[in-house]
């Protein structure tokens, strides 16, 4: 075996080990759901996020130890890449294997060689129409069996080791919801069928059956949400079919799904068919293949730059004290670079900021914490940067940028989906928008609390409103575990001078929080503040937060449903 092939095989062996463990961890989600092992669910999710980088490090160490003079020499990598392509013939995850190759190569090569000659800047192996032992989806024909038996068979085919709670009632709830959604039997076409992905999607304390109803030329996506009762029974909780609810369910502000996929490209293709508004990169990320999501996102960004002419500019909203935030108006994302220095009262270091972002990445985001894509050594055309932005980066984050010919190299940055800052949304919205924003703001705080997260800096400027109207937190430098906080009542003033003082007359510890001040501190006087008091008055009671803390400390994992309560059958 020649050296190039040996190195290529070493890399592929590292990827195959990674994907084998990835599938084993994902497939084991069904057992964790059946046992109600919610602590194990959290641990497995954190473990799976880190396993990719561990395999990359192992592959790099194997190459540098076995080929110390060859693996780091750029002249060998075109041949290594050609040998790798040959090894991907008949591979069932070629697109992910190419990304793994890139991860290893970029650890060994200088950034100058990040090109299609040395790495997979573009895909070399098609991932469409790959044969698999595991069928991507199963088909059911209600016109042959009847609608109720078809629904029962769909549930039974997943082989969940839990009895269906009140089976007759559960199925009839589902049947009624399907008939309300699709009420006209006369409209049924000869090809009427349900196509259901062959493995369940597991996340947090729930499982999801994902499919589409095919009728004539039209396809109608749907998801059936399943829960496990404390007594160990399976419950059918909801039928989800409206676009906004499906988009939120698969949003990357949630923890990544656990789902067993032999050929991930075929699963993502199915999901793309039912969620056409979602980028392919987002769907790979949603099913736990976030490195593949990053690869596709970066290709999307560069393709967009080729087909657009606008410039990167400072993002709208109030300037942050920790990040320089900029955006490309024609591209719906923001780019965040850590400042070199933080002005008071921020008492935090650069490494602590990165640890906060890592905390969020590993934690259950319950649909309320923005997912971030983290990149290093990103080269972007300098002429696409507005001069004011270049000046701001040079002043506030000089250690994070480098000028290299016609490119600006950003040594480290985070990328998030662009949202409307909540303070702007509340200031510019009509009565209905303000009520919706305040309702969502408080619900976001509740959902985060149930997941043992306290946002820290609760100012509305640190929250964003998505296109579907969901409020999400995106400023993580003060985020912490809820159980680390000390929720206190404001002490009564001792004297008239205390009462009139602009400064607190009582001691305030670093983790002290005074919920009674939320409305007046977070929102200006007016309709928004009044609505917060009306709708979320209990959030201003320290007792509310203490009760949530007590539940978390007792080992209780709270229920957070990623769809409206009115969709629930219970």
User: Pairing mode, if any, of strands 331-338 and 323-328?
Assistant: antiparallel
**Residue 374 in 3-state DSSP?**
strand
The Cα–Cα gap between 304 and 461 comes to: 28
* Phi, psi dihedrals of residue 440, rounded to the nearest 5°: -65, -40
The Cα–Cα gap between 256 and 254 comes to: 6
pLDDT of the residue at 113? 54
pLDDT of the residue at 40? 94
The Cα–Cα gap between 535 and 514 comes to: 18
**Residue 246 in 3-state DSSP?**
helix
Q: What residues contact residue 116 under an 8 Å CB cut-off, 6+ apart?
A: 122
The Cα–Cα gap between 334 and 286 comes to: 19
The Cα–Cα gap between 303 and 436 comes to: 36
Catalytic residue among 371, 447, 475, 477: 371
Q: What residues contact residue 275 under an 8 Å CB cut-off, 6+ apart?
A: 221, 246, 247, 250, 283
Reported in sequence order, the residue ranges of 266-381 that DSSP labels E, i.e. its strands, are 313-314, 323-328, 331-338, 373-381
CB 472 within 8 A of CB 464: yes
Residue 410 DSSP one-character state? E
**Sequence-distant contacts of 120-124: CB under 8 A, at least 24 apart:** 120/81, 121/299, 122/299, 123/94, 123/95, 123/98, 124/81, 124/85, 124/88, 124/98
Reported in sequence order, the residue ranges of 302-372 that DSSP labels E, i.e. its strands, are 313-314, 323-328, 331-338
Q: H-helix or E-strand containing 66?
A: helix 38-66
pLDDT of the residue at 114? 62
What's the per-residue H, E or C state across 391-430? Answer: HHHHHHCHHHEEEECCEEEEEEEEEEECCEEHHHHHHHCC
The Cα–Cα gap between 274 and 219 comes to: 8
**Residue 450 in 3-state DSSP?**
helix
Structural domain boundaries of the chain?
Answer: 3-113, 137-297, 308-418, 421-567
Q: Which residues pair with 211 in a beta bridge?
A: 196, 222
User: Pairing mode, if any, of strands 453-454 and 401-404?
Assistant: unpaired
pLDDT of the residue at 357? 93
- Catalytic annotation present for 371: yes
Compute how many other C-beta atoms are within 10 angstroms of the C-beta atom of residue 431: 9
The Cα–Cα gap between 461 and 421 comes to: 6
Residue 275 DSSP one-character state? -
CB 223 within 8 A of CB 206: no
The Cα–Cα gap between 20 and 145 comes to: 38
434: left (phi over 0), alpha (psi -120 to 50) or beta: alpha
- Two structure tokens written together for 478: 């003060």
CB 422 within 8 A of CB 401: no
The Cα–Cα gap between 436 and 427 comes to: 13
CB 492 within 8 A of CB 387: no
Q: H-helix or E-strand containing 280?
A: helix 280-286
Residue 494 DSSP one-character state? S
Per-residue pLDDT of the chain (570 residues; tens, 9 = 90+): 688 999 999 999 999 999 999 999 999 999 999 999 999 999 999 999 999 999 999 999 999 999 887 656 678 889 999 999 999 999 999 999 999 999 999 888 876 656 678 889 888 888 888 878 888 999 999 998 899 999 999 999 999 999 998 878 888 999 999 988 887 666 889 999 999 999 999 999 999 999 999 999 999 999 999 999 999 999 999 999 999 999 999 988 899 999 999 999 999 999 999 999 899 999 999 999 999 999 999 999 999 999 999 999 999 888 888 999 999 999 999 999 999 998 887 878 999 999 999 999 988 888 999 999 999 999 999 999 999 999 999 999 999 999 988 999 999 999 999 999 999 999 999 999 999 999 999 999 999 999 999 998 899 999 999 988 999 999 999 999 999 999 999 887 766 665 666 667 667 788 899 999 999 889 998 999 999 999 999 999 999 999 999 999 998 888 889 999 999 997
- Two structure tokens written together for 387: 């001069």
Nearest to 155 by CA among 133, 178, 132: 178
The Cα–Cα gap between 170 and 173 comes to: 5
The Cα–Cα gap between 552 and 272 comes to: 37
Convert 492-501 to b/e letters by CB count within 10 Å (16 or more is b).
eeeeeeeeee
Q: What is the length of the chain? A: 570
């Amino acid at each position: 075996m020649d050296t190039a092939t040996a190195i290529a095989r070493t890399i592929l062996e590292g990827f195959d080990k990674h994907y084998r463990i990835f599938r084993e961890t994902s497939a084991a989600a069904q057992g964790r759901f059946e046992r109600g092992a919610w602590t194990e669910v959290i641990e497995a999710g954190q473990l799976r996020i880190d396993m990719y980088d561990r395999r990359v490090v192992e592959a790099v160490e194997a190459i540098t130890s076995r080929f110390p003079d060859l693996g780091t020499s750029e002249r060998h990598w075109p041949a290594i890449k050609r040998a790798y392509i040959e090894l991907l013939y008949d591979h069932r995850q070629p697109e992910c294997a190419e990304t793994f190759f890139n991860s290893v190569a970029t650890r060994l090569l200088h950034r100058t060689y990040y090109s299609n000659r040395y790495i997979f800047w573009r895909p070399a192996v098609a991932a469409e129409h790959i044969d698999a032992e595991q069928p991507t989806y199963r088909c059911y024909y209600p016109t042959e069996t009847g609608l109720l038996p078809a629904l029962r068979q769909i549930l039974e085919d997943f082989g969940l080791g839990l009895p269906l709670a009140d089976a007759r009632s559960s199925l009839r709830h589902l049947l009624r919801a399907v008939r309300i959604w699709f009420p006209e039997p006369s409209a049924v076409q000869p090809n009427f069928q349900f196509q259901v992905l062959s493995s369940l999607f597991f996340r947090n304390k729930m499982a999801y059956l994902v499919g589409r109803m095919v009728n004539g030329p039209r396809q109608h996506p749907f998801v059936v949400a399943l829960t496990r009762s404390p007594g160990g029974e399976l419950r059918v909780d909801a039928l989800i079919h409206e676009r906004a609810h499906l988009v939120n369910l698969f949003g990357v502000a949630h923890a990544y799904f656990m789902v067993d996929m032999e050929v991930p490209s075929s699963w993502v293709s199915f999901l793309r068919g039912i969620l056409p508004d979602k980028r392919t990169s987002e769907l790979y990320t949603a099913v736990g293949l976030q490195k593949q999501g990053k690869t596709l996102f970066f290709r999307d960004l560069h393709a967009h730059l080729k087909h657009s002419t606008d410039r990167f500019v400072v993002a709208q909203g109030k300037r942050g004290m920790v990040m320089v935030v900029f955006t490309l108006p024609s591209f719906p994302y923001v780019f965040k670079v850590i400042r070199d220095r933080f002005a008071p009262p921020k008492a935090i270091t650069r490494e602590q900021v990165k640890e906060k972002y890592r905390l969020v990445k590993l934690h259950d985001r319950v649909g309320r914490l923005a997912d971030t894509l983290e990149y290093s050594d990103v080269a972007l055309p300098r002429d696409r940067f507005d001069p004011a932005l270049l000046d701001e980066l040079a002043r506030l984050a000089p250690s994070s940028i480098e000028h290299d010919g016609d490119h600006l190299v950003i040594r480290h940055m985070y990328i998030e989906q662009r949202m409307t800052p909540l303070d702007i949304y509340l200031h510019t919205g009509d009565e209905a928008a303000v009520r919706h924003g305040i309702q969502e703001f408080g619900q976001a705080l509740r959902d985060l609390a149930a997941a043992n997260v306290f946002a820290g800096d609760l100012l509305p400027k640190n929250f964003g409103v998505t296109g579907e109207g969901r409020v999400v937190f995106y400023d993580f430098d003060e985020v912490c575990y809820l159980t680390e906080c000390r929720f206190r009542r404001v002490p009564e003033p001792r004297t008239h001078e205390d009462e009139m003082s602009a400064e607190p007359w009582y001691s305030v510890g670093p983790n002290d929080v005074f919920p009674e001040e939320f409305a007046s501190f977070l929102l200006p006087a007016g309709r928004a503040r009044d609505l917060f008091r009306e709708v979320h008055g209990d959030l201003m009671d320290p007792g509310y937060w203490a009760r949530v803390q007590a539940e978390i400390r007792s080992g209780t994992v709270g229920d957070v449903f990623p769809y409206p309560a009115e969709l629930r059958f219970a």
